[in-house]
């Protein structure tokens, strides 16, 4: 049995080995991106996109700041792709720690368990590409304590101290998506929502430009049909499943569309779904809901209406066809149908639920706020 000193010495030795293993071949920063094809230039293949006429000005990628919220199975891979692409600044948000239970996903390594996800990710990413300026924030964005800092970072952290160019939501829960949506509507920030279903066999990305496309509150969450018979889907004993494949695919879609948006090539897809069991990829455009619950969304819609629209290119017009106008096979409702708020969704995509049915629970009494003060109520609650 080793004593504590021996164990400590062993840990120190291992830490040194780890440090030397990870510090090998650390390169210096590169001042300007070059297309020169030499084995020491990490950007030559990216700059080749320019020579081939795919992207006009690849090196502009260095001017952009992207915030990635949620550094889990999708977010970590997203951050790695952006780092390898040479993004100017990357801002990472997460409050969680790396766990061994995360090892079925890409990116993180067992020796990082116990570290905060943002710090562990930043270490790896700086090592992969020291040119990327990485900032980390280790907190839960949905709490009142953190939300103001979160919005402050998003609105002031670009390379010119303005709002970040794009926010990528890679979170795994509804509350955090809603917090991002609230912030982006309020401060007019463009973002991508992404997600993988809890059964791990479907996913999606959605481009949200406040006022121009549907926000996350405009319609109930969309679900990509997984073609699994609900009766055979067992939820007993587990919350969620995850596959590195589905997460990697969704991260790929997300970063691909991020590059198209930032570097202005190709077309940015408004909504792209993925059904793993059938390899089915529904796409569609989602218009904002004029009756959206979010006041700032409605405000952005009015602003957008007043903005002069750029002429739509002829070839782009032809591509708009896949939007399905009728929804007779599109919407399947969890609850009895009520107000669909004119949401038209593509084949293979459904709404998670419909908006409130005002008559569902009538026999309840209301909690009326009378003259009792909050302090009195708090005291009363304590004394029950």
Partner 1 sequence: MVDESTRKTLSTIPLLKTKAGPRDKELWVERLKEEYQSLIKYVQNNKEADNDWFRLESNKEGTKWFGKCWFIHDLLKYEFDVEFDIPVTYPTTAPEIALPELDGKTAKMYRGGKICLSDHFKPLWGRNVPRFGIGHAMALGLGPWLAVEIPDLIAKGVISYKEKNRIGYRVEFIKTYLLL
Q: Which stretch binds partner 1 (CB under 8 A): 18-26, 36-44, 271-279, 348-356?
A: 348-356
What's the chain's length in residues? 384
Residue 116 and residue 91: Cα distance in Å, rounded? 15
8 Å CB contact between 75 and 95: no
- Binders of partner 1 among 77-96, rule CB under 8 A? 96
Write down the least CB distance from residue 366 to partner 1, Å: 5
As beta bridge partners, residue 206 has 193, 271
Candidate list 133, 335, 340, 347; residue touching partner 1; CB under 8 A: 335
Nearest residue to 341 (alpha-carbon basis) of 286, 272, 296: 286
295 belongs to the binding site for partner 1 (CB under 8 A): no
Should residue 377 be labelled a site residue for partner 1 when binding is judged by CB under 8 A?
Answer: yes
139 touches partner 1 by CB under 8 A: no
Site string for partner 1, 232-261 (x = CB under 8 A): ---x-xxxx---------------------
Q: Out of partner 1, Zn ion, none, which partner does residue 218 contact, by CB within 5 to 8 A per kind?
A: Zn ion
366 binds partner 1 (CB under 8 A): yes
Smallest distance, partner 1 to C-beta of residue 182, A:
6
* Residue 372, contacted partner among partner 1, Zn ion, none, CB below 5-8 A by kind: partner 1
Q: Is 378 in the site for partner 1 (CB under 8 A)?
A: yes
Site for partner 1 in 19-58 (CB under 8 A): none
Distance (Å, whole) CA 141 – CA 122: 19
Three-state secondary structure string covering 51-96: HCCCCCCHHHHHHCEEEEECCCCCHHHHHHHHHHHCCCEEEEECCC
Residue 21 or 372 with smaller CB distance to partner 1: 372
Told to check if 220 binds partner 1 by CB under 8 A, we report yes
Q: What is the binding site for Zn ion (CB under 5 A)? A: 215, 217-218, 292, 294, 297
Q: Out of 170, 184, 218, 239, pick the active-site residue.
A: 239
Q: Measured between alpha carbons, how far is 120 from 127 in angstroms, rounded to an integer? A: 11
Buried b (16+ CB within 10 A) or exposed e, 102-133: beebbbbeeebeeebbbbbbbebbbeebebbe
Of 127, 108, 121, the closest CA to residue 24 belongs to 127
Identify whether 239 is a catalytic site residue.
yes
Is residue 184 within 8 A of residue 299, CB to CB? The reply is: no
Residues in contact with partner 1 by CB under 8 A are 96, 99, 140, 142-145, 147, 173-175, 178-179, 181-182, 217, 220, 235, 237-240, 293, 334-335, 352-357, 360-361, 363-369, 372-374, 377-378, 380-382, 384
Any idea which residues carry the catalytic annotation? Answer: 239
């Amino acid at each position: 049995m080793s004593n504590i000193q021996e164990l400590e010495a062993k840990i120190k030795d291992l830490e040194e080995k780890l440090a030397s293993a990870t510090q090998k071949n650390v390169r210096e920063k590169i001042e300007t991106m070059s297309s020169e094809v030499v084995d020491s230039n990490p950007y030559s293949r990216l700059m080749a996109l320019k020579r081939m006429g795919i992207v006009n000005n690849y090196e502009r990628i260095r001017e952009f700041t992207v915030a990635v919220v949620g550094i889990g199975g999708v977010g970590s891979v997203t951050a790695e792709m952006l780092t390898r692409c040479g993004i100017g600044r990357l801002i990472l948000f997460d409050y969680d720690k790396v766990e061994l239970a995360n090892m079925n996903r890409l990116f993180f390594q067992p020796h990082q368990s116990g570290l905060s996800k943002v710090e562990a990710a930043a270490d790896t990413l700086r090592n992969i590409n020291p040119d990327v300026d990485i900032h980390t924030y280790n907190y839960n964005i949905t709490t009142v304590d953190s939300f103001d800092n979160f919005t402050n970072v998003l609105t002031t952290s670009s390379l010119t101290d303005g709002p970040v160019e794009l926010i990528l939501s890679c979170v795994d829960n509804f509350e955090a998506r809603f917090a991002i949506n609230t912030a982006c509507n309020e401060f007019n920030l463009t973002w991508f929502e992404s997600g993988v279903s809890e059964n791990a066999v479907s996913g999606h990305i959605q481009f949200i430009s406040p006022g121009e496309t549907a926000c996350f509150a405009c319609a109930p969450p969309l679900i990509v049909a997984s073609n699994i018979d609900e009766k055979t889907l067992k939820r007993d004993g587990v919350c969620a499943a995850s596959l590195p494949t589905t997460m990697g695919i969704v991260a790929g879609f997300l970063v691909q569309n991020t590059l198209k948006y930032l570097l202005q090539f190709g077309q940015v897809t408004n909504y792209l779904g993925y059904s793993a069991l059938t390899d089915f990829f529904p796409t569609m455009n989602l218009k904002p809901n004029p009756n959206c619950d979010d006041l700032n969304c409605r405000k952005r819609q009015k602003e957008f209406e007043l903005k002069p629209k750029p002429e739509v290119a002829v070839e782009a017009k032809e591509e708009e066809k896949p939007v399905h106008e009728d929804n007779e096979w599109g919407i399947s409702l969890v609850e009895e149908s009520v107000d669909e708020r004119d949401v038209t969704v593509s084949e293979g995509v459904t709404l998670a639920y419909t908006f409130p049915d005002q008559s569902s629970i009538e026999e309840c009494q209301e909690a009326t706020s009378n003259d009792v003060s909050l302090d009195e109520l708090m005291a009363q609650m304590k004394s029950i």
